[in-house]
Amino acid sequence: MDLLITAGVLLASALAGILGSMFGLGGGILIIPLLTLGLGIDMKDAIGASLIGVIASSTGAAGRYVGEGLVNIRLGMLMEPATTLGSIAGAFLAIYLNQSILALVFAAVLLYSAFYMYKRPELTVHARREDLCQYLDSCYVDRRTGEKIEYKVHNLRRGLLASFAAGNMSGMLGVGGGIVKVPAMNVWMGVPMKVATATSNFMIGVTAVAGAIVLYVNGLVSPVLAATVALGVFAGANIGPRLVRRTAGRTLRQYFALVLVAISALMALEAFGIMGGA
Decide whether 151 or 234 has the Cβ nearer to another protein.
234
The answer to whether 77 contacts another protein (rule: CB under 8 A) is yes
Residue list 84-123, contact with another protein (CB under 8 A): 84-85, 87-88
DSSP line for 43-104: HHHHHHHHHHHHHHHHHHHHHHHHHTT---HHHHHHHHHHHHHHHHHHHHHTTTS-HHHHHH
- Which helix H or strand E contains 148, and what residues bound it? strand 148-151
5 contact partners, CB below 8 Å, separation of at least 6: 39, 41
- Selected from 209, 239, 269, 275, the binder of another protein by CB under 8 A is 209
Q: Which region among 116-124, 176-184, 224-232, 246-254 touches another protein (by CB under 8 A)?
A: 224-232
- Selected from 5, 37, 38, 59, the binder of another protein by CB under 8 A is 59
User: Which among 186, 181, 185, 158 has a CA at the least distance from the CA of 168?
Assistant: 181
The answer to whether 5 contacts another protein (rule: CB under 8 A) is no
Decide whether 232 or 249 has the Cβ nearer to another protein.
232
d(CA 219, CA 22): 31
Q: How many residues bind another protein (CB under 8 A)?
A: 52
> Do 38 and 8 touch, CB atoms closer than 8 A?
yes
> Do 149 and 192 touch, CB atoms closer than 8 A?
yes
Binding map of another protein across residues 131-150, x = CB under 8 A, - = no contact:
x-xx---x------------
User: Which among 198, 199, 192, 177 has a CA at the least distance from the CA of 251?
Assistant: 192
Binding map of another protein across residues 143-182, x = CB under 8 A, - = no contact:
----------------------------------------
Answer left, alpha or beta for residue 149, where phi above 0 means left and psi between -120 and 50 means alpha. beta
Closest approach of another protein to the CB of residue 112, in Å = 29
Amino acid at 220: L
The answer to whether 228 contacts another protein (rule: CB under 8 A) is yes
- Cα Dmax for the chain: 58
Q: Which region among 11-19, 65-73, 180-188, 191-199 touches another protein (by CB under 8 A)?
A: 65-73
The answer to whether 192 contacts another protein (rule: CB under 8 A) is no
The answer to whether 67 contacts another protein (rule: CB under 8 A) is yes
Q: Percent helix, strand and coil across the chain, each rounded to 5?
A: 75, 5, 25
Residues in the chain, total = 278
Q: Which region among 83-91, 119-127, 239-247, 248-256 touches another protein (by CB under 8 A)?
A: 83-91
The answer to whether 222 contacts another protein (rule: CB under 8 A) is yes
Residues lying near another protein in the complex (CB under 8 A) are found at 1, 52, 55-56, 58-60, 62-64, 66-67, 69, 71, 73-74, 77-78, 80-81, 84-85, 87-88, 131, 133-134, 138, 205-206, 208-214, 216-217, 219-228, 230-231, 234
